[in-house]
Structure 1
Amino acid sequence: MADSARHTLPLPDYDHLPVGGLESRIRSLSAGEVEDLLAYERSHAGRIPVTSLLTARLEQLRAGAEPTSGAPDALRPEQAAGRTGSPVSPATSPEPFSPPPHGTPDQRGKPKGDRT
């Protein structure tokens, strides 16, 4: 496949997809589409985890598995609109808590005189 073929791959922006999210995305593809991805992967990056994943899915499809529902062009978590930085802020922080000097909050320590 030529470099311009990356724009016609069944998964948009395939080169930038994280390997962890690839498995669920290829479930909606046909055997021919998985073959296209596998050929592209082998001729470009050649990432072993990705080629193994694509090969396994292709074998499943050839053994009779059916593509499942899914949206290969769905918004990826790393593309979420409006998300920048950490969601942690003073407004989302818990109230300060000081544990008791001994024991647990549910079971206070005994005075020394009561110990046996």
Structure 2
Amino acid sequence: MNKVLIALGLAASVALVGCNKQKEPETGATTGEHLENAANQASHDISDATKEAEAKTQAATDEATSKIEAAGNEAAAKTEAAAKDVKNAAKEATANTAGAIEQGASNVRERTQQ
């Protein structure tokens, strides 16, 4: 009975050691080749991600530049309109002042002639 148990123990040990053997990858490539391929793929993935990030950054920069330019143009147009309003108001105030002076002078002449 002991011999049977010892034989079973040895068979189990051999089976376990046999199962732990590393099999070659199904592709026939070595582990080093798999690692090299994985490194190449990672390099390509990083390159692609970098290009995508660069494109998105450029698009965001272009959009921001466009919005800043539009805001600058709008501010310039509003400043020009305000300057025209100030100029027109100054002309009107000058005309009103001149009219008031003429009216005052006319009133003074009438009084002096009476």
Alignment TM-score, normalising by the size of structure 2: 0.25
Higher RCO structure (Cα 8 Å, ≥6 apart) = 1
Alignment TM-score, normalising by the size of structure 1: 0.25
